[in-house]
Amino acid sequence: MPTILQDPIDSASGATPPVVDVSRQLELELRTTLYEKGGSWRETLVEKGIFVVSLTAIFAILLIFIFVARECLPLILGQVDTARSAELIAPEKAVDLSSEQLAVYLSQPVEKIRPLSPDVLKDLVASRNEELAAHPNPDSKLNTVSWPMLLLPYRWQEYTKAEFIWQPTSLVEKYNLVPLFFGSVKIAVLSLLMAVPLSLMAAIYVSQLASGPVREVVKPVIELLAGVPSVVLGFLALIALASLFQWLFGYEVRLNTFVASVALALALIPVIFTIAEDALSAVPQTHKDAARAMGATEWHATIRVMVPAAFPGIFAAVILGFGRAIGETMVVLMASGNASILSPSIFQSCRTATAAIAAELADAPVDSPHYRVLFLIGFILFVITFVGNVFADVILQRLRARLEGQRGSHDAEPHASSEPNPQEALS
Amino acid sequence: MTNALPTIAHPPRVRIASPPGIAPAVNVSAPISHQVESLEAEPAAEPVAVPPIIQVQDLSLLYGNVAAVQHVTLDIPRYRVTALIGPSGCGKSTFLRCLNRMNDFIPNARTSGRVLFQNQDIYAREINPIRLRRYIGMVFQRSNPFPQSIYDNVAFGLRLHKMGRAETIHDQVELALRKVGLWDEVKDRLNQNAVTLSGGQQQRLCIARAIAIKPQVLLMDEPASALDPIATAKIEELILQLKEDYTIVIVTHNLQQAGRCSDYTAFFYMGQLIEFDATENIFGQPAAEATEAYINGRFG
């Protein structure tokens, strides 16, 4: 027999309210409403639409990767060969040879050779013979797009020692990639050395130390710098900065790594500043209050509490700045002097990998070895940035985890304490 | 002003005898336990001449043109717990922040009047508020440990003020953690991040961090309002224990808490100090109508 609860309100008033009717009504209503399908078809449509759009981004990246990889795949597989055959082919015998053999001899794609008439082929072979006869060069028998030639120094005919040379338009095309990637890294590192301290100091000042009105002015102005097109920055460097620095430092080469790095730093500062400033502003103000309530100065509270707390964000800002520095093309193309010189000096010209692609792709015949090598550079850049991003992301996750106090491997170890455990001592 | 609220007609009644400018009755350099013994002989309920550590004289604070604290005169007795109670927005938290000049960070806030800390006017032009906060610490409503290790949290102030080398800092960290009863709970994971602690542990860590640098006064702004009853009880127990070494001023919304752990209670209403007296008197026989109404839950 279930106990019937005495309702204090009912027993007090003595009246019996029509509870049954109300609850019956509610039950009937619930029978229909609870089984209704929620959401309209419009919501479903929008949701699916957004899903497709987000997939498109992934698809686009995949497509770019496939495109770049496809163009340089023959090179990676060793199917491209720049070596000319040692034997000259008599022009009369040209018609007897297969299109493939002629293609190799003329270093032209097969598709272009195949439709040509025998007379045209004869002329082409004759002019090729003349070219080879005029410049007898043992290097011309080399395959300059083989991996050792791409990556290792080589002593060319006219050189006294083995060197890394990028010279894709000489008679013997030299495709060593080292000067380009060295140039990229040199400019990126130099510009980061300038931009990181400046932008982090600015971020710390604006987010922590500046008064309200100063912050209201400085922050948007620095962020406005991000809106300046890189071609304008390159123009500024090319015309104004280059002359100014040459006058100041008196170096020989007007357009050089240093000028390009300064201009590139101007492009990096707003990127690094914005993210670092956001990260610092996101740290709760209560941390700062706690430090100040213990007698910390504004500066101490910022450096010992706020900056460590914002460190993952600051790290992300620097990584993003590095990505921008490696990838930036227009500024370095205009201001670096573009000579592919492998030199440790910052007052020498240099050519970056991105600038090489931008400057040379239009001149390289489609499917020629030069064209393939430029795509290989693009492929390598893609891989570098991808691996770099993944690596940075892993570090970022670790930093965040440490800051948010998830157990790391080192936290699991008990703290080395000389104190005996009181519980153990008792038992 | 709504007519439902009691009017403030009379001046604040302050019963503690405190001749201005008097030298502290106890020798600061003497052992603390000795001082406390001599003081505890006198019952706190009676108006006694407890030497004040902070004397507030006619303190007002304005946000722009709005007065948050108006003409408060109050003596905070040494080695006692003084509770500040009152309805939300009555200015008690603002008043608390005035005591170690944390109100300096509020834009548009102006103060007038004097706050004497051991006979030094802390609002004098030459006073460095950063040095002042070394002596008057603060614990906030929401526990705010730094996202660093437990050890580094407590050692923060010690390192900041260069209070000893690495070895002595370790001892001081241990002492501070023992005082707040956290040592046994965390001694095996001092290198772990402080945010992994529970809410109550975090708040006790914040207290440990504040007392590690041995301040004279500890200001607490609703230290237990975000905690569950068990953690709250631990904090209250801690407050009673800490008053042996520190003067404590605590803002609380919890009247039972004020009754349980304070020796003196100040009732604030609309920026004014309505009544200041021994806690027993405030809760037993409040002099002001408003105090009585608030204590009995008729408003607030």
Q: What is the pLDDT of residue B37?
A: 42
Query: In terms of CA atoms, which chain B residue is nearest residue A290?
Result: B144
Distance CA B204, CA B226 (A): 13
Q: Which of A76-90, A167-181, A289-303, B96-110 has the lowest mean pLDDT?
A: A76-90
Q: How far is B169 from chain A (nearest CA, A)?
A: 15
Indicate whether A62 belongs to any domain: no
Report the alpha-carbon angle A157-A161-A166, nearest 5: 70
Q: What is the pLDDT of residue B5?
A: 43
Give the DSSP H/E element, type plus range, for residue A335: helix A330-335
Q: What is the pLDDT of residue A2?
A: 59
CA distances to A125, B54, B128, B264, B286 from B267, in Å: 106, 17, 30, 10, 10
CB within 8 Å: A405 and B192: yes
Best mutation site among B102, B160, B161 for testing chain A: the one with the most A CBs within 10 Å? B160
Query: In terms of CA atoms, which chain A residue is nearest residue B190?
Result: A415
Give residue A295's domain range: 178-360
CA distances to A72, A177, A330, B3 from A65, in Å: 11, 20, 22, 75
Q: What residues of B are in contact with residue A300 (Cβ under 8 Å)?
A: 160
Q: Is the dihedral of CA A267, A272, A278, A281 positive or negative?
A: negative
ipTM of the shown complex? 0.78
Q: How far is A303 from chain B (nearest CA, A)?
A: 11
Q: What residues of A are in contact with residue B106 (Cβ under 8 Å)?
A: none
Distance CA B275, CA B53 (A): 19
Q: Which domains are assigned to chain B?
A: 49-295 (3.40.50.300)
Indicate whether A36 belongs to any domain: no
CB within 8 Å: B142 and A414: no
Q: How far is B157 from chain A (nearest CA, A)?
A: 6
Q: Provide the angle, in degrees to the nearest 10, between the axes of the packed helices A99-106 and A118-134.
A: 30
pLDDT, one tens digit per residue, over A236-282 is: 999 999 999 999 998 888 999 999 999 999 999 999 999 999 999 99
Indicate whether A332 belongs to any domain: yes
Q: What residues of B are in contact with residue A292 (Cβ under 8 Å)?
A: 102, 105, 130, 133
Best mutation site among A208, A211, A215, A292 for testing chain B: the one with the most B CBs within 10 Å? A292
In the predicted model, is pLDDT for residue A67 greater than 70? yes
Strand duo A174-175 + B272-278: pairing:
unpaired
CA distances to B21, B75, B279 from B55, in Å: 10, 4, 19
Query: In terms of CA atoms, which chain B residue is nearest residue A409?
Result: B192
Distance CA A183, CA A264 (A): 13
Q: What is the pLDDT of residue A195?
A: 96
Q: How far is A270 from chain B (nearest CA, A)?
A: 28
Grouped pLDDT means (10 residues each) for chain B, 300 residues: 43 45 40 42 50 90 89 91 90 90 86 89 89 91 90 91 84 91 89 89 92 91 88 91 91 90 91 90 88 82
Of A294, A410, A422, the CB nearest to B157: A294
Greatest Cα-to-Cα distance within chain A, rounded to the nearest angstrom? 124
Indicate whether A268 belongs to any domain: yes
The residue count for chain A? 427
Indicate whether A292 belongs to any domain: yes
Indicate whether A133 belongs to any domain: no
CB within 8 Å: B144 and A287: yes
Output the domain CATH number for residue A253.
Answer: 1.10.3720.10
Across chain A, mean pLDDT equals 84
Query: pLDDT band for position A101 (50/70/90)?
Result: confident
Distance CA B179, CA B161 (A): 20
Q: What is the pLDDT of residue B48?
A: 52
Q: What's the number of CA atoms in the CB half-sphere (13 Å) around residue A179?
A: 24
Q: What residues of B are in contact with residue A297 (Cβ under 8 Å)?
A: 130
Distance CA B122, CA B105 (A): 15
What is the residue type of B161? Answer: H
Cross-strand pairs, B82: B249, B264
Indicate whether A145 belongs to any domain: no
Q: Is the dihedral of CA A261, A267, A273, A275 positive or negative?
A: negative
In the predicted model, is pLDDT for residue A359 greater than 70? yes
Distance CA A195, CA A272 (A): 8
Indicate whether A261 belongs to any domain: yes
Q: Torsion-angle region of residue A276: left (phi > 0), alpha (psi -120 to 50) or beta? A: alpha
CB within 8 Å: B187 and A295: no
CB within 8 Å: A287 and B157: no
Of B134, B190, B210, the CB nearest to A415: B190
pLDDT, one tens digit per residue, over A110-164 is: 777 788 888 888 888 888 788 777 766 777 777 888 888 888 888 887 788 888 9
Q: How far is A242 from chain B (nearest CA, A)?
A: 46
Residues of chain B contacting A, Cβ within 8 Å = 100, 102, 105, 107, 130-134, 137-138, 140, 142, 144-148, 156-157, 160-161, 184, 187-196, 206, 209-210, 213
Count of structural domains within chain A = 1
Residues of chain A contacting B, Cβ within 8 Å = 212, 284, 286-287, 289-297, 300, 304-305, 308-309, 402-407, 410-411, 414-415, 417, 419, 422
Q: How far is A297 from chain B (nearest CA, A)?
A: 6
Q: What residues of B are in contact with residue A402 (Cβ under 8 Å)?
A: 193
C-beta contacts of B26-31 below 8 A and 24+ residues apart = B26/B51, B26/B78
CB within 8 Å: B187 and A415: yes
Distance CA B233, CA B250 (A): 15
Report the alpha-carbon angle B286-B287-B293, nearest 5: 55
Greatest Cα-to-Cα distance within chain B, rounded to the nearest angstrom? 62
Q: What's the number of CA atoms in the CB half-sphere (13 Å) around residue A2?
A: 3
